[in-house]
Amino acid sequence: MLRGIIICPDVDLGERLEALLNEMGIVGVIRSLDRYPNALELVRFLRAHAPQVIFVSTENTTKALEIAKEVEKNTPGVQLVAVSRFCDPQILLEVMRAGIREFASLPFDRQTLTDGLIRIKDALDKRPAELGATDQVFSFLPSKAGVGTSTIALNVSVAMSKMPNANVLLSDFDLNSGMVRFMLKLDNSYCVTDAAEHSLDMDESMWPSMVTSLDGLDVLHAGKLNPDFRIEPTQIRHLMEFMRRNYSVLCFDLSGNLEKYSLEIMQESKKIFLVCTPEIPSLHLAREKYVYLKQMDLGDRVTVLLNRSQKRPLITPQQIEQLLGLPVHMTFPNDYHGVQRAVTEGRWVEMGSDLGKQFNSLALSMLEHKSNAGAGDSKKRFIEFFSVVPGKTPAVREQKKSVG
């Protein structure tokens, strides 16, 4: 069934058309607008609902033709049908010159409308509607709780939001222990679970209440602890489709529990940033998760981020690369005080700090498609850190931990 919207200030005409379309079952009317939107409203409307066919009233021919022009400009391939109470030859000629090939007037003839919709389906098969969905989707996955994934996801999202033409959304999908709301001191009562529950009817009027805007970054937080809530695959797909049409970059902060909805998000992600620290338990679980993701055919999307790196590490990035079987894309210094200060203030890490500069570097590499692969020889005996030796326990240097 085609997705359709009706733009018709003549309420009676719009209702009669919608009733007939519902009876026919070829087009599902997902939204009806009883006024002509301006250009900005129209773009938001198109991104929110992703129609394949638009029925536009010629009550005001000039405005109807302006809409046709904007539709072709912003969403090429979306089909238009002009509708009117009367079949005026002059209006019919004008809409045809504007590229609108289908016209319907009262009294609506069922067969004529059916034939027109069949032609529209054929046109869409040859030239599908271009709805402008971004492919800049990134997931941040912790090897284990407490490795600082939320800190990285938040600060990298902020860094990207400062870049030209970057419209960024950060979503916290850790329903067990989401930290973004706490870290930014957000008081929005709506959260991820609300967005999921309304995913099927999400629109441009509802969405702004779901997110909090902070200096150019939109944030959808996880809400209060809600481990029993289940996000269905259909909900996450509809929600992500909406997000991808309305933002240029999507960042997802995941729990690390590999829930079904998390796997759905990772399936849609361009990159999966696996965050770990240079500690044995964290690296062990990072390797386990990487092996699992490879089994899910996601291994080629996984990139390692090493957090809380020390100047003189007990375990070097090269050794970590040997263990995990893929390069460390970037390391982040252990700035305990800087992170704590940011959390206390409900903001992000100072961008001029060493840690802030690394967040900015990662943001640049994500948007500019650069790769910072690690280099250097690996020590063969490093794998022994993960082997249990009877009577012995590997010694690991204690490190300070930051929130997130």
pLDDT in tens, 89-98: 999 999 999 8
Does residue 393 carry a pLDDT above 50? Answer: no
Nearest CA-CA partner of 241 in 123, 129, 137: 137
Gap between the Cα atoms of 64 and 103, Å rounded:
13
Gap between the Cα atoms of 353 and 7, Å rounded:
51
H helix and E strand count, the chain: 15, 13
Residue pLDDT, tens place only, 206-249? 999 999 999 889 999 999 887 778 888 889 999 999 999 999 99
pLDDT at 43: 87
pTM strictly above 0.85: no
Question: Which tokens hold the place of 290?
Answer: 């990487």
Q: Which residues, including other chains, have CB under 8 Å from residue 53's CB and lie 6 or more apart?
A: 2, 3, 4, 5, 27, 78, 79, 80, 81, 117, 120, 124
Q: What percent of the chain has pLDDT over 70?
A: 91
Residue type for 57, please?
Answer: S
Query: What structural domains and CATH numbers belong to the chain?
Result: 2-126 (3.40.50.2300), 137-386 (3.40.50.300)
Residue pLDDT, tens place only, 55-86? 999 999 999 999 999 999 988 999 999 999 99
Does residue 281 carry a pLDDT above 90? Answer: yes
